[in-house]
Amino acid sequence: MPRYFLEVAYKGTNYSGFQIQENAHSVQAEVEKALGIFFRQRVELTGSSRTDAGVHALQNYFHFDFEGVIDPRKLYNINAILPRDVVLKSIFPVGKEDHCRFDALAREYRYYIYRRKDPFLDDRAYFFPYKVDRGQLEAAAAIISRYTDFTSFSKRNTQVKTFICAIRESRWTVENDCLVYQVIANRFLRGMVRGLVGTMLQVGRGKLTLEQFEEILHRKDNRHADFSVPGHGLFLFRVSFSDSILHATK
């Protein structure tokens, strides 16, 4: 049976997360519902990267198996069924064994912080009106790149078998008056980016030293990390695949 990749973007404010959950409103549930209405049959989706409640995505993926040829122009009709805060951006056939989760090469997250009151950023960035030392933030981000075990920055009650992540990039930048943490890795743990951001902000405010920050990484105990930053400042920015998957049938 042919397999398709489905590229999706969404504003996560009204959702309990990306993946379908019992008695909860999820992005996956909305997309499955819309596909079911359009194709008049049940369509079961597999997601690439899970995002938590309130977290947004500029790019995420599903894959699904479907008997028949799907015209990409039909996305217009399916998007008309979806709520305004979810959009399907592209659909394309892939190999029968291609998997949007296991074949993803990297994920990129960005966390946005604004420091002067702005009603247009209220639900898309974290309002943090405190003085922070950019140099200390950047030094903490550089430390993260040297580590692979992120047990200390994973929330509890996760089902993963390993806490090892390969960090490819970790840095702070400024974008349109927002302070932005940008991180790229092969995989991320539950709550990991928010834990890193919250703890680095403590370094930037002088409440933790760089040595203490590094000690938290060594301890492998999440009780010492700060997960308090809200989900609405976090964006899944990009999911990367090999050219053989993305360009095979385009």
Residue 119 reports pLDDT greater than 90: yes
Say yes or no: do domains 3-103 and 106-237 share a fold.
Answer: yes
Give residue 32's pLDDT: 97
Strands (E), the chain: 3-10, 46-47, 56-65, 86-94, 106-114, 126-127, 167-175, 178-185, 234-240
DSSP state of 116: S
pLDDT tens for 155-171 read: 877 778 899 999 999 99
How many Cβ atoms are within 10 Å of 79's Cβ, its own excluded?
Answer: 15
Residue 62 reports pLDDT greater than 50: yes
Residue 226 CA: distances (Å) to CA of 34, 182, 202, 206, 222: 38, 18, 8, 14, 8
**Tokens (6 digits) for 171:** 């840095």
Sorting pLDDT into bands at 50, 70 and 90, what band is 248?
A: low
pTM: 0.94
| Residue in 164, 167, 113 with CA at minimum distance from that of residue 144 | 167
Give residue 157's pLDDT: 73
Q: Provide the CATH topology of domain 106-237.
A: Alpha-Beta Plaits (3.30.70)
From the list 52, 98, 103, 226, the catalytic residue is 52
**CA–CA gap between residue 250 and residue 161 (Å, rounded):** 36
DSSP state of 154: S
**CA–CA gap between residue 205 and residue 132 (Å, rounded):** 5
Residue 95 CA: distances (Å) to CA of 46, 65, 70, 125, 232: 15, 10, 15, 38, 35
Give the amino acid at 175: E
Do the Cβ atoms of 104 and 239 come closer than 8 Å? yes
* Rounded mean pLDDT, 90-104: 95
DSSP code per residue over 34-80: HHHHHHTS----EESS--BTT-EEEEEEEEEE-SS---GGGHHHHHH
Active site residue 52: yes
| Residue in 135, 223, 137, 221 with CA at minimum distance from that of residue 182 | 137
CATH class, range 3-103: alpha beta
**Tokens (6 digits) for 130:** 């405190």
Domain ranges of the chain: 3-103, 106-237
pLDDT tens for 174-232 read: 998 899 999 999 999 999 999 999 999 999 999 999 999 999 999 999 999 999 999 99
**CA–CA gap between residue 13 and residue 35 (Å, rounded):** 22
